[in-house]
Amino acid sequence: MCTLEKRGNVYILTLTGNDEHRLNPTLLDSIRSALRRLRSEPTSPSSVLITTAHGKFFSNGYDLSWARSTTSQSTTSSRYRMMSSKLRGLVSDLISLPMPTIAAITGHASAAGMAFALCHDYVIMRRDRGFLYMSELDIGLVVPALFVALMECKIGSPKARRDVVLTAAKLTAEMAVEKGIVDKVGGSAEETVEAAVRLGEEMFKRKWDGQVYAKNRMVVMGKVLDELGFDGTVEEENGKGIGSKL
């Protein structure tokens, strides 16, 4: 599932196993549990969190096959709602985390997996493997407003956002840097994590107060927080599920 270790002054949260790290309730709960443990560490001077993954995938998004592996349409709808709700909780946890966050992307990050990456303050991506890919258009799903809010926060150019969302572009690290989505390109998987650790150690030296950092980040990402209450792609305004195309 996921592990949390400390290396020097920084924490590394790793999505383990050689699978797609699909964001099902088990993995989402596991990640949130790790973040809760982090919160109980002293916050000043603030440490730094690096999130990474083993294998070919950072995360390939929601566990759609788990949601659909039932004959009941209403069970499928409620599974989508559950994953959406837990992801929104995770987004909230990351945005309010009292320390800087770095995503060290060493494999494919698609759809909700890409959104998860974008929740981090910095993104360092491996040069030679893996895409960032907002896949929804290609698989016939609508991009949730939360993901659009994250992109508006993290991807400055309207044309870049259009390319990501309306062409379901598969972005290599270099394409992603060009579009202003990724901060830095790392060499191999190990080098990418090392670059993240170096950046983390630099930030640790600044001796920031983690609580203050978090509060400032929440202001900067306020529009994302606004979208956490409701996901129109899995429910109607009165809280009922949708018999959707999902």
Partner 1 sequence: MCTLEKTDDNIFVLTLTGDDEHRLNPTLIGSILSALRDAKEQATSGSVLITTSRGKFFSNGFDLAWAQAAGSKPKAIERLHHMVELLKPVVAELISLPMPTIAAINGHAAAGGLILALSHDYVYMKRDRGVLYMSEVDIGLTIPDYFNVLLRAKIGSPSARRDVLLRGAKVRGDEAVSMGIVEGAHDNEERLREATMSHGKQLASRKWDGEVYKEIRKGLYPELCVVLGLGEAEVIAKL
Question: Which spans of this chain sit near partner 1 (rule: CB under 8 A)?
Answer: 136-138, 140-145, 148, 156-159, 161-162, 165-167, 232-233, 236-237, 242, 244-245
Minimum CB separation of residue 217 from partner 1 in Å reads 22
36/223 with CB nearer partner 1: 223
Query: Six-digit token pair at 135?
Result: 């896949």
Go through the chain and tell me how many residues it has: 246
Sheet holding 57-59, edge to edge: 57-59, 108-110, 132-133, 170-171
Query: Six-digit token pair at 240?
Result: 């009922």
CB atoms within 10 A of CB 229: 8
Minimum CB separation of residue 145 from partner 1 in Å reads 6
**What is the rounded CA–CA span in Å between residue 24 and residue 191?**
29
103/246 with CB nearer partner 1: 246
Minimum CB separation of residue 136 from partner 1 in Å reads 7
141/175 with CB nearer partner 1: 141
End-to-end CA distance of the chain: 26
142/212 with CB nearer partner 1: 142
Minimum CB separation of residue 15 from partner 1 in Å reads 27
Minimum CB separation of residue 31 from partner 1 in Å reads 25
78/244 with CB nearer partner 1: 244
**What is the rounded CA–CA span in Å between residue 162 and residue 131?**
17
- Residue found by looking up tokens 């809280």 in the block: 239
1/148 with CB nearer partner 1: 148
Q: Which helix (H) or strand (E) holds 105?
A: strand 101-105
Secondary structure tally for the chain: helices H, strands E:
11, 10
CB atoms within 10 A of CB 72: 9
98/113 with CB nearer partner 1: 113
Please state, in angstroms and as integers, the Cα–Cα distance from residue 167 to each residue in 58, 145, 164, following that order. 21, 17, 6
- Residue found by looking up tokens 């949708």 in the block: 242
Minimum CB separation of residue 119 from partner 1 in Å reads 18
Minimum CB separation of residue 90 from partner 1 in Å reads 21
